[in-house]
Structure 1
Amino acid sequence: MNPLLAQAIRSGHSRRDFLRNLLFAAGSVSTASWLSACGSSSPLNSVAAPGRSRFADIGPLQAPDANGIQLPAGFTSRVVAVAGEAPVPGSSFVWHRDPDGAGSFALADGGWLYVSNAEVRDATSGGLIDPLQPILSRETVAALGLLRGGASALRFAADGTLVDAYTILHDTTTNCSGTATPWGTWICGEEIADGYMFECDPLGTNPDGRRLDLFGRFGHEQVAIDVAGRAIYHTEDFGGDDRFYRNVFTETDWPAGGRPAFNDGVLQALVVEGGVEAARNGPAPIRWVDVVNDGRPQRQVYLPETTIFSGNEGVWFLKGFVFFSSKGDNNIWAIDTIGNTIESIYSPESQPIGSPVDPNEPPLQGVDNLCMTDDGEMIVVEDGGDMRAMVLLPDRTVVPLLRLPDETGGSEVTGPAFSPDGRRFYCSAQRNGRNGASGNGITFEITMPFAVRVTRPLAGA
């Protein structure tokens, strides 16, 4: 069991209350302070005193601003990139279409990068007509030079000025999500039946990237990294019968204080004892089984004992816990990597009607990618739903951070990420143009009236 969780339970608090407080004890306040604050009969309320989320005090969403975005009072927005247009005036580089998963990096000069994937579909996925029926294999489309995905970066100066934009990965396809690694690279995958994972330099020095075959071939989504545990977790989202994966490495391949060489990492899939229903009522014991990884798509060699989580999306590692979302049932799960258990910490059924700031807000739904602060505040964006980025609060209610316009329908909110100083939040409307009109994607920067605590890696370190 995670030691923070064990201490909370010894002090008379339920494990579910602790997990729903999303590790404030591991962030800006000490465990002792958290437990002391939870000494009253209502820990979920009293914890707000020493470790209260700044998001808990944001008000309801206001009328749309000049960019068509609804924000709480005190928040402002600007457009930083539009698909098919040059983000930096005078540059020949144009922003990619279908912006999806994203992350941020610090720069040595005080600036930062925002990296975004291009979930552009092609014949590897059957296009938008039926993405589950590939027209051609990935190898065939690659040989024809028709792969249309990749990833790009926006470079900001220390004062927030957008100064450059460029490609960091090309000749890939349907790049959905990924992660900024602690060692300063970007890892992302292809969300197709026979997709690969790639690692590339966010500074753009080698846009060919490096293919990581040891991550298997399937519809890759987001990635989370446990350095101390020498494990990399990643989600699958393709046909509804999706699995949750990890790669584990030896000390030889991943030395202490270093980074993995990616030459020897065992691919494993999650097994929940008692199945998903046991996890809903968790904690349920888990185990990991080695899976076949011989170059064939995992869908051809699924082990029947592995547990299905329909539509796996976002995943994040924090203080010994792995949090991930499954869009098929709108759940958010927490894995205790030390205690080897899993349980649901959010479902629409568990959410009170409305929102603390607006009783008319619909429940969080269409849970997709997510990101977290160092204090455990979770931002979840919606695919479908109500085109919002939502904050999951310590008392497991949610408040809206923003609502993006979608005048034509069919878009989604993608690419949640904070700038290294914690004052700016980035996201995209994947299939929108300006002010919600039909388009191929638009990326926004939201400036907040306060800063949150985040730790972002140095690019190319």
Structure 2
Amino acid sequence: MLRRTYARTGPCTARALNGSLWRVAAAGGSAPGAEGPYGPLLPPDHDGIALPAGFSGRVIARTGHTVGGLRWHAAPDAGACVPDGEGWIYVSNSAVPLLGGASAIKFRPDGSVRDAYRILSGATLNRAGCATPWRTWLSGESTVLGRIFECDPYGVRAAMPRLAMGRFKHQALACDADRRVVYLTEDEDDGCLYRFRPMDWGELIEGELEVLCHAPGPAPGRVAWRPVPSPASLFTPARHQVPEAVHFARTGGCHYADGVLALTTTGDGKVWAYDAAAERLDVIYGGGRLLADPPHRGHDLYTAEDGGALEISVVTPDAAGPGPLLRLTGQDRSKITGLAFSPDGRRLYFSTRPTLARRPSRSLTAIGGTTYEITGPFRP
């Protein structure tokens, strides 16, 4: 399935998203016998984690078990790290019907757990998420009238709904600090791509929700943004309010970097690149082949496939394909979610959860999950 989780190394916090990697969008994980930049994988440890020499892994939290005084939630999904003095905090969504929300784990500088707490309750099916430049966490509900909540990873302020950002089936979010907007994707068969322009950058209470539209004129690929008249309408879906809106075959993950918003469409297996400066939208991967150069390079990319081999792979700027960093055993019918590096880039966090979590009738035991930490000599 063309819906993956990625983290990108670089200064400060690596970005995490659900999306697809340009050069290996349909590769289905690492090729048999492939070797990543860290060398071959060693045999799995007692937790079923296979890693290269010099790396180690540990379980941080399991659904229903206590971590830092908190009972860890089921179906962990999107995640991110934010700095906390000399330590850091890992935030994780919970993609559970009716009992969703988000939780946070606070770490000391040595990596030990200091505390854990809920930062969002009373929400449902929280899958979409991203950290903001002002160190809050945006958590989106994947329901027809889903809301975006702005949460405090530090646990001081209560989470607040941001209804001006639209009510629809939220799939992913990405912040564009260059243009001071937040991009949002929609998990519908004819979903749209939106951007929210807050009245004041750093305050998401008021602003304008816009939808990507076909631009008038003959120039191929040219697009424009149009306001959504009623972003929080309970009767007319946002995607049906603007006739010129571009409709995608179920938009998946999105990620903004270096002036380009990349997004995937899971319905047709394509990867798109939106050039924010030129206001141009192009397909860069489709039909099993690369159609254009990757929109940005220069960093290692870490990718985790929804199906197939349960592994995290690394694609380097000079590599033709992915090589494995990690492989998990003993977790059939699971997916990897919530990749995020600690602010210093030395620790990688992620979760697994059964794919059965999409079935609301299942018990919380059936939609459990595990959150891990990997340490080692990660490349800068």
Shorter-chain TM range is 0.7 to 0.9
- Residue 103 (structure 1) aligns with: 80
Name the Cα RMSD after superposition.
3.2
1:46-76 per-residue CA deviation (whole Å, 9 max, x = no partner) reads: xxxxxxxxx9623344432221123334322
1:140-178 Cα shifts (integer Å, max 9, x gaps): xxxxxxx31110001110011112111111111111021
Partner of 2:88: 112
The answer to whether the 8 Å contact 2:62/2:72 transfers is yes
Partner of 2:179: 229
1:94 aligned partner, one-letter code? R
- TM-score normalised by L of structure 1: 0.65
Structure of higher CA gyration radius: 1
SS at match of 1:184: coil
Question: C-alpha displacement at 1:406, in angstroms?
Answer: 5.2
Deviations 1:10-38 (A, max 9, x none): xxxxxxxxxxxxx99x99xxxxxxxxxxx
Distance 1:315 1:333, change over 3 A: same
Output the amino acid matched with 1:69: I
- Where is the strand percentage greater, Structure 1 or Structure 2? 2
1:406–1:349: structure 2 CA closer, same or farther, 3 Å change rule? farther
Residue 47 of structure 2 is aligned with which of 54, 67, 71? Answer: 67
Superposed counterparts of 1:24-43, under 5 Å: none
* Structure 2 alignment gaps of length 5 or more: 1-7, 12-22, 24-34, 291-295, 356-364
Q: Which residue of 1 aligns with 2:305?
A: 382
Q: Deviations over 1:75-121 (max 9, x none)?
A: 22100000000013xx2x2000000000000111x100000001001
Q: How far 1:265 moved relative to its partner?
A: 1.7
Give the alignment partner of residue 287 of structure 1, picking from 224, 231, 256: 224
- Residue in structure 1 matching 2:368, options 440, 456, 461: 440
CA separation of 1:375 and 1:171: change in aligned 2, threshold 3 A? farther
SS of corresponding position for 1:264: strand
User: Does the 8 A contact of 1:175 with 1:191 survive in 2?
Assistant: yes
CA distance in 2, matches of 1:294, 1:273: 21
For the pair 1:244 / 2:182, whether they are aligned, the reply is: no
Inter-partner Cα distance in structure 2 for 1:329 and 1:71: 33
Number of corresponding residues: 334
Amino acid at match of 1:227: A
Distance 1:71 1:293 in 2: 49
The residue correspondences of 1:248-259 to structure 2 (distance < 5 A) are 248-249=197-198, 253-254=199-200, 259=201
Q: What percentage of aligned pairs have identical amino acids?
A: 37
Match of residue 323 from structure 2 = 399
Equivalent position of 2:117 in the other structure: 166
2:249 to 310, 320, 339: 310
Q: Which amino acid aligns with 2:72?
A: W
Q: Distance in 2 between matches of 1:425 and 1:431?
A: 20
Secondary structure at 1:262's aligned position in 2?
strand
| Equivalent of residue 321 in structure 1, options 260, 266, 284 | 260
8 Å CA contact 1:407, 1:438 repeated in 2: no
Higher helix share: 1
**One-letter code of the match for 1:319?**
D
Aligned residue runs from structure 1 range 417-432, under 5 A: 417-431=340-354
Give TM-score, length-normalised by structure 2: 0.78
What secondary structure is seen at the aligned counterpart in 2 of 1:266?
Answer: strand
Give, in whole Å, the separation in 2 of the partners of 1:428 and 1:287: 37
Task: Tell me how far 1:201 sits from its aligned partner.
Answer: 0.6
Residues 90, 105 of structure 2: 8 Å contact kept: yes
Contact 1:193/1:299 (<8 A) preserved: no
Cα distance change of structure 1 residues 400 and 305 upon mapping to structure 2, 3 Å threshold: farther
- Which SS does the other structure have where 1:214 is aligned? helix
**Deviation per CA, 1:249-289, whole angstroms, max 9, x where unpaired?**
4xxx22xxxx4322432111223569xxxxxxx98222222
Q: 2:61 aligns with which of 72, 77, 81?
A: 81
Instruction: Quickly say closer, same or farther: Cα 1:387–1:98, change in 2 above 3 A.
Output: same
Aligned residue number for residue 20 of structure 2? none
User: Residues of 2 paired with 1:335 and 1:408: CA distance?
Assistant: 35
